[in-house]
Every structure is written in structure tokens, then in C-alpha cells.
Amino acid sequence: MSEHHEHLSQHDRPLSGPALRVKALESLLVDKGLVDPHTLDELIDTFEKRVGPRNGARVVARAWVDPAYKARLLTDSRAAIAEFGFFGYGEDMVVVENTPTIRNVVVCTLCSCYPWAVLGLPPVWYKSAPYRARAVIDPRGVLKELGDPVPEDVEVRVWDSTAELRYLVLPERPAGTEGCSEAELAELVTRDAMIGVARVKAPEKRAR
């Protein structure tokens, strides 16, 4: 890129930046009667405060303590998750279970499909080129880089979300959590574990 071009694009940035374009677009859509500004605030609030990975964590914790629920979750994921009555939940879902011999990893190579109602909006890395490109060809390399190498004798299953079916990984329950309540277990479950790129860790031993 030439110096001249760089200079121009920098000069141009304050006028064409997305912040200004979105601001202009919002006032146009309000003037056209296409959106209600109060609803926009509510939508944002919904995804910042109400819908997020804590929902998915509750599903996982329930499956860990209740074998009948877990069986329902793995056979009819959509209906089993619907039992929680999460706000805005309408997704067709597939839940895949990690075991000592199987690791599941979820990706969307073509765009950014993600189970909003149970995990909220996807993190930047999930929507970014490195993850979308590499998760299918080198899942072991990605997991190793992220600090969770997979032993040779464990099978890796990568789920590329190409349709209107959203995937949730049911992670393995960590050892040392036998005394935990369902609510305490839910606190341990992370977003990354439910995408499949991390494992759930047992809580640090508390001083008593």
C-alpha cells in the first residue's frame, strides 16, 4: 500500500468509520419508522445481562446431577433445554457429550452460527478467521495452543455448524466435585468448555 493511500485512508477514517455510519443509519431508520429506539436499548440489555453462558452452564450442571435429564438432553436437546424456559429460546439444538475417550469441538467455518439462547453472543475469536480456518483441519493444534492438548488415544469430533442446528458441548464433570450442589457446579462451567476448547476445572480447595 502506498504512503499516499495510507494517508488518504487515515484522513478519511473519521468520516467513514463504522461508528458514524451506524449513528447516521440509526437516525434514518428511526425517522423512517422502522425501529423504536427504546426496543434497541432493550435488545442490547437482553444480550448484555439476560442471555449468556450462565444459561448453558445451568443445563450442563443439571445433566451432571440428573441422569434422566442428561438422557433427555442427549436425545432431544431442544426439548430438554426448553424445560428451563430461557428468554428467547427457539433454536434447534444438538448437545454432544465429552467422555474420557471423546472430545467435541464446535465451529462455524462459513459464518458465526452459535447457540445464542444458551451461550449468548459468540466471542470475537469464534467469529474470526484463525479459528474458522483451523478448527476443522487442525483441532488438536488449536486445543494444544489454547492450553488443553488432547492425548493421542482420545478421538476428536469437530462439529461444523452448517445448518440451523446449534451445538452445545456437554463437558466432563471434573473429579473432586462429588460434594457440589447443582448451583455450585453451574458456577464452574465456562463458555469455552461448552464450545469445546477447554475443560471444566474442579474448584480450588477452600480453607475451612
Partner 1 sequence: MNGVHDMGGMHGMGPVEIERNEPVFHAEWERRVFALRLACAFHRRWNIDMNRHAIEQMPPADYLAASYYERVLFGFTRLLVEHGLVGAGELATGKADGKASVAGVLSPDGIDTLLRTRIRARRDEDVPPKFGVGEPVVARNIHPTGHTRLPRYVRGKQGVICRDHGVFVFPDSSAMTRDPSPQHLYTVRFAARELWGADASTRDGVYLNLWDGYLDAA
Catalytic annotation, residues: 108, 111-113
When asked if residue 33 is in the footprint of partner 1 (CB under 8 A), the reply is yes
When asked if residue 123 is in the footprint of partner 1 (CB under 8 A), the reply is yes
**Residues 37-76 contacting partner 1, CB under 8 A:** 38-44, 46-48, 52
Figure out which of the listed residues 60, 63, 95, 117 binds partner 1, where binding follows CB under 8 A. Answer: 117
Min CB(173)–partner 1 separation in Å: 23
3-class SS of residue 159 = strand
In this chain, which stretch among 61-69, 161-169, 170-178, 199-207 interacts with partner 1, using CB under 8 A? 161-169
**What does the alpha-carbon distance between residue 50 and residue 106 come to, in Å, rounded to a whole number?**
23
Length of the chain: 208
Residues pairing with 155 in the sheet = 102
Nearest to 194 by CA among 57, 86, 85: 57
Query: By the 8 A CB rule, do 89 and 81 touch?
Result: yes
**CA-derived radius of gyration, the chain:** 21
When asked if residue 93 is in the footprint of partner 1 (CB under 8 A), the reply is no
Q: Is the CB of 64 or the CB of 126 nearer to partner 1?
A: 126
Binding residue count for partner 1, defined by CB under 8 A = 79
Q: Is the CB of 26 or the CB of 66 nearer to partner 1?
A: 26
DSSP type of residue 92:
-
**What does the alpha-carbon distance between residue 6 and residue 12 come to, in Å, rounded to a whole number?**
10
When asked if residue 128 is in the footprint of partner 1 (CB under 8 A), the reply is yes
Q: Is the CB of 28 or the CB of 181 nearer to partner 1?
A: 28
**What does the alpha-carbon distance between residue 99 and residue 79 come to, in Å, rounded to a whole number?**
23
Figure out which of the listed residues 159, 170, 171, 196 binds partner 1, where binding follows CB under 8 A. Answer: 159
